A and B are shown apart, each in its own frame.
Chain A
Amino acid sequence: MYTKTSINQLKEAVADWTKANEAKFKTERKEFVTESGIPIKRVYTPLDLEEKGFDYLKDIGLPGAYPYTRNNSPVGYRGKLWESTAYGGKGTPEESNALWKSQMAAGAAKAYIAYDLPTQLGLDPDNKKAAGEVGRVGISMVSQKDWEVAFDGIDFHKMGVSQVLNAPAIFGLANHLTLAEKRGIDISDITGSQQNDVLKEYMARGNYVFPPAASIRLAGDILQHVGLHMPKYQAITVSGVHQSERGANNVNELALMMLNGMAYLQAGVDRGVDVDIMAPGVMFLPGVDHYVFFEEIAKLRAARRMWAKILKEKFKAKKPESMQYRIYGAHGGMGLHREQYLNNIARTALAAMAGALSGVEWLDTRSYDEQFGIPTTEAQVNTIRVQNVVAYETGVDATVDPLGGSYFVESLTSETEERAWKVMEDIEKLGGVVRCIETGHVQRMIAKDSYDWQKRFESGEIKRVGVNIFQSSEGEAEKPLRVYRSSPAIEKQRVDTVVEVKKKRDNQKVKRCLDELTALAREAPTAKNNMIPAVMEAVKEYATVGEVCDAFRTAWGEFREPNAF
Chain B
Amino acid sequence: MQERKIRVLLSKIGLDGHDRGVVNIAMALRDAGMEVIYLGRHVFPEEIAQAAIQEDVDVVGISSLADAHMTLIPDLVKTLRKKGSDIPVILGGFIQPEDVPQLKAMGVAEVFGIGSKLPAIVAYIQSLKQTAVTP
Contact = CB atoms under 8 A, between A and B. Distances in A.
Given A206-B41, A454-B118, A458-B118, A129 B15 contact: yes
A311 B11 CA distance: 41
A338 B17 contact: no
Contacts of A565: 23, 26-27, 30, 38
A561 B68 CA distance: 21
B66 A133 contact: yes
Interface in B67-86: 67-68, 70-72
Contacts of A515: none
Contacts of A485: 67, 96
Contacts of A246: 19-20
A121 interface: yes
By size class, the interface of chain B is: 20 to 34
A483 B26 CA distance: 30
Given A129-B44, A132-B14, A338-B115, A454 B24 contact: yes
A515 B30 CA distance: 47
Contacts of B41: 206, 561
B17 A207 contact: yes
B20 to A, nearest CB: 5
B128 interface: no
A205 B17 contact: yes
A75 interface: no
Interface string B96-135: 1100000000000000001101110000000000000000
Interface of chain B, main secondary structure: loop
B118 A206 contact: no
Interface in A264-318: none
Contacts of B30: 565
B18 interface: yes
A447 B15 contact: no
B17 to A, nearest CB: 2
Contacts of A371: 114
A332 B135 CA distance: 49
A447 B23 contact: yes
A450 B67 contact: no
A172 interface: no
Interface string B22-41: 01101110100000001011
Interface in A546-565: 561, 563-565
Contacts of A450: 20, 23-24
A149 interface: no
B114 A338 contact: yes
Interface in A480-529: 480, 483, 485-486
Contacts of B118: 454-455, 458
A368 to B, nearest CB: 15
B44 A132 contact: no
Interface of A: 117-118, 120-121, 123, 129-133, 136-137, 201, 205-207, 245-247, 337-339, 371, 373, 447, 450-451, 454-455, 458, 467, 480, 483, 485-486, 561, 563-565
Interface of B: 12, 14-20, 23-24, 26-28, 30, 38, 40-42, 44, 66-68, 70-72, 94, 96-97, 114-115, 117-119
Ranked nearest first, the 5 interchain pairs of A and B with the lowest CB-CB distance are A206-B17, A132-B71, A117-B15, A132-B68, A451-B27
